């Protein structure tokens, strides 16, 4: 069999043809299915439409700002989804939204809201005015019960004066209130009044009874007031009264809000009343890739370590157009870190000729100013690109393509990019050792909003003395060891790709010489040789003609990736 760049000729031809076919019909990256859906009782928001939703009167809004490439956001999705489905019963007074800050359309939105870490959960009251001067409140927990407790408190203080339906009333009844007065407070649109004591359980019960619009819930602050309605106050906690004043017999099994609601719901069902439908617990069904994507995934998984131009470009594209522009204001050490990162990209350029021109001009601009906003940075990048031929031909991962939505992709491409740059830096020796890893440190600290990953890398860098790397070879190995430590931490994690489990690399099948025959430990000298080989410029897979096509076209012409 004829071999081309260490790949059998026939599979090589098949891979090229399938990628060509796939790219002629491949969707844009931003068309990946979101982490949530309406079936989860979560409304996925794109761009400026959130502001219109937040000004909706008479309802509170719970918004999760997330990054779909962030492992802890994907892990949290299952918890948030289950909570949102359960809170469907509060839909009369609460809307739940999700904003993916990894999407290009949401950069301005996440920047205006000052989202510096994900996931961020923020509550907005019914009288929200504008994004830039909003009064949203961060919920500093990821525990559903604690989120619900904060929502109960917040929703009880909302302004429901503009409610289209029967508005909830959270204030306790007054001592002189008569039953007719209480029905009138609900515009006589309810069939029953449910009296609840004490106050804290009463507030939660008002919310949990919202699926039953025929019942108006009022709180009794003092149990003695049950006597005002002809009831015995002794140990009285709840009472259900119809318009004639007759008390309906209810026997809660327990003293919780859920027990109260369950008892009333049972009685209502017996009397022919129905509640609003609830949603079943939903789990997204993410099927594995099919067609050309499946072939690429299969090939990458079963081949030796390869390096693709497309993945390197995607990492830089995401950083220049999304991650950095999301930052509201860049000054001080953050600005110095930005300068350093862009200088690294310019010096160790992985883009085409016009990409180098853009990076040259971008570096020059960053040395003409001492601070910059994320919006200004994005405008500079966009302006430079309009003056040049297309730089980022298409938004498509290849070697970093995941087998399911949101897995691998940007995080994989970011690691790949910096491994590649460490090897290139060792060849060129134009910057001191540790310059590349220090750049990655600045990126993680200032421009990567995935909180858990960012904080872990910062601690890892300090623990492994990132600034004390003395040679370029040490820098290559430092990043390799750091990457393997992260892989070990994430091994078996629910946020991982089922086809690409987190393992120590290089695997023995890719580099047998990298393992000591006696102990099975890594042979660092052989690992260094391996890394220098697979992340070498000559090992880079890509083609030149694609740069002549229009950038970011969702329906590009056929293109070829040379697989080595």
Number of other CB atoms surrounding residue 159 within 10 Å: 12
SS3 state of residue 480: helix
Fold assignment, 292-540: 1.20.120
Please list the alpha-helical segments (H only) found in 120-213. Answer: 144-156, 179-185, 199-208
pTM of whole model > 0.75? yes
What are the phi and psi torsion angles at 144 (to 5°)?
-55, -45
Tens digit of each residue's pLDDT, the chain (564 residues) = 333 333 444 444 444 444 444 444 443 455 678 899 888 999 999 988 898 888 888 899 999 999 999 999 999 999 999 999 999 999 999 999 999 999 999 999 999 999 999 999 999 988 765 555 456 899 999 999 999 999 999 999 998 988 888 899 999 999 999 999 999 999 999 999 999 999 999 999 999 999 999 999 999 999 899 999 988 877 778 999 999 999 988 888 888 999 999 999 888 888 777 766 665 555 555 566 566 678 788 878 777 767 889 999 999 999 999 999 999 999 999 999 999 999 999 999 999 999 999 999 999 999 999 999 999 999 999 999 999 888 886 678 889 999 888 889 999 999 999 999 999 999 999 999 999 999 999 999 999 988 888 999 999 999 999 988 999 999 999 999 999 999 999 998 888 898 899 999 999 988 999 998 777 799 999 999 999 999 998 877 764 333 333 333 333 333 333 333
CATH superfamily, domain 38-143, is Glutaredoxin (3.40.30.10)
For 179-271, CATH number out of 3.60.10.10, 3.20.20.210, 3.40.30.10, 3.40.640.10 equals 3.40.30.10
Identify the pLDDT of residue 305: 63
> Could you tell me which of 7, 1, 5, 536 has the C-alpha nearest to residue 302?
7
Q: Which residue spans of the chain are classified as CATH 3.40.30.10?
A: 38-143, 179-271
Tokens encoding 314: 């995607």
Burial of 133 (0-12, 13-18, 19+ CB in 10 A): exposed
What are the phi and psi torsion angles at 500 (to 5°)?
-130, 75
Q: Which residue spans of the chain are classified as CATH 1.20.120.310?
A: 292-540
| DSSP secondary structure letter of residue 556 | P
Cis peptide before 198 (omega within 30 of 0): yes
Q: Looking up tokens 């040379």, which residue turns up? A: 562
> Could you tell me which of 46, 99, 30, 94 has the C-alpha nearest to residue 449?
99
CA distance 49 to 113: 14
């Amino acid at each position: 069999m004829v071999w081309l760049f260490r790949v059998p000729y026939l599979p090589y031809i098949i891979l090229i043809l399938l990628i060509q076919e796939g790219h002629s019909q491949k969707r844009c990256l931003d068309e990946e299915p979101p982490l949530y859906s309406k079936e989860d009782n979560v409304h996925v928001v794109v761009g400026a439409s959130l502001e219109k939703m937040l000004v909706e009167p008479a309802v509170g809004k719970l918004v999760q700002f997330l990054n779909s490439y962030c492992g802890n956001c994907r892990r949290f999705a299952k918890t948030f989804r289950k909570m949102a489905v359960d809170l469907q019963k509060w839909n009369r007074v609460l809307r739940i939204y999700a904003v993916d800050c990894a999407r290009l359309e949401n950069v301005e939105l996440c920047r205006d809201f000052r989202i510096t870490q994900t996931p961020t959960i923020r509550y907005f009251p019914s009288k929200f005015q504008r994004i830039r001067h909003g009064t949203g409140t961060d919920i500093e927990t990821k525990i559903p019960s604690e989120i619900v407790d904060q929502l109960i408190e917040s929703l009880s203080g909302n302004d429901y004066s503009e409610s289209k339906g029967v508005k909830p009333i959270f204030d306790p009844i007054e001592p002189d209130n008569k039953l007719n007065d209480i029905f009138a407070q609900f515009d006589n649109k309810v069939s029953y009044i449910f009296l609840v004591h004490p106050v804290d359980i009463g507030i939660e019960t008002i919310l949990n009874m919202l699926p039953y619009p025929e019942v108006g819930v009022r709180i009794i602050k003092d149990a003695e007031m049950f006597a005002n309605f002809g009831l015995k106050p002794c140990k009285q906690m709840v009472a259900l009264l119809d318009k004639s004043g007759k008390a309906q017999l209810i026997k809660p099994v327990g003293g919780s809000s859920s027990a109260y609601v369950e008892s009333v719901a049972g009685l209502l069902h017996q009397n022919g009343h129905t509640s609003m439908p609830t949603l079943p617990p939903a789990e997204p069904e993410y099927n594995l890739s099919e067609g050309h994507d499946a072939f690429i995934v299969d090939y990458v998984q079963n081949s030796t370590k390869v390096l693709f131009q497309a993945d390197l470009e995607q990492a830089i594209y995401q950083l220049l157009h999304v991650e950095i522009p999301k930052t509201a204001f860049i000054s001080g050490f953050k600005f110095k870190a930005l300068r350093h990162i862009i200088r690294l990209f310019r010096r160790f350029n992985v883009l085409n000729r016009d990409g180098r021109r853009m990076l040259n001009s971008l570096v020059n601009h960053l040395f003409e100013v001492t601070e910059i906003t994320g919006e200004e940075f994005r405008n500079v990048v966009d302006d430079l690109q309009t003056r040049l031929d297309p730089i980022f031909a298409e938004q498509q991962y290849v070697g970093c393509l995941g087998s399911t939505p949101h897995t691998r992709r940007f995080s994989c491409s970011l690691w790949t990019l910096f491994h590649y740059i460490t090897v290139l830096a060792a060849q060129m020796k134009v910057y001191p050792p540790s310059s590349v890893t220090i750049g990655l440190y600045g990126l993680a600290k200032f421009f990567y909003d995935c909180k858990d990953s960012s904080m872990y890398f910062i601690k890892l860098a300090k623990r492994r003395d990132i600034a004390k790397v003395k040679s370029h070879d040490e820098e290559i190995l430092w990043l390799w060891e750091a990457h393997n430590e992260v892989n070990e931490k994430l091994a078996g994690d629910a946020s991982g790709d089922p086809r690409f489990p987190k393992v120590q690399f290089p695997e023995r099948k890719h580099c047998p010489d990298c393992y000591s025959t006696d102990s099975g430990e890594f042979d660092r000298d052989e690992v260094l040789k391996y890394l220098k080989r697979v992340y070498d410029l000559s090992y880079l897979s890509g083609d030149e003609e694609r740069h002549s096509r229009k950038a970011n076209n969702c329906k590009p012409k056929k293109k070829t990736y040379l697989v080595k």
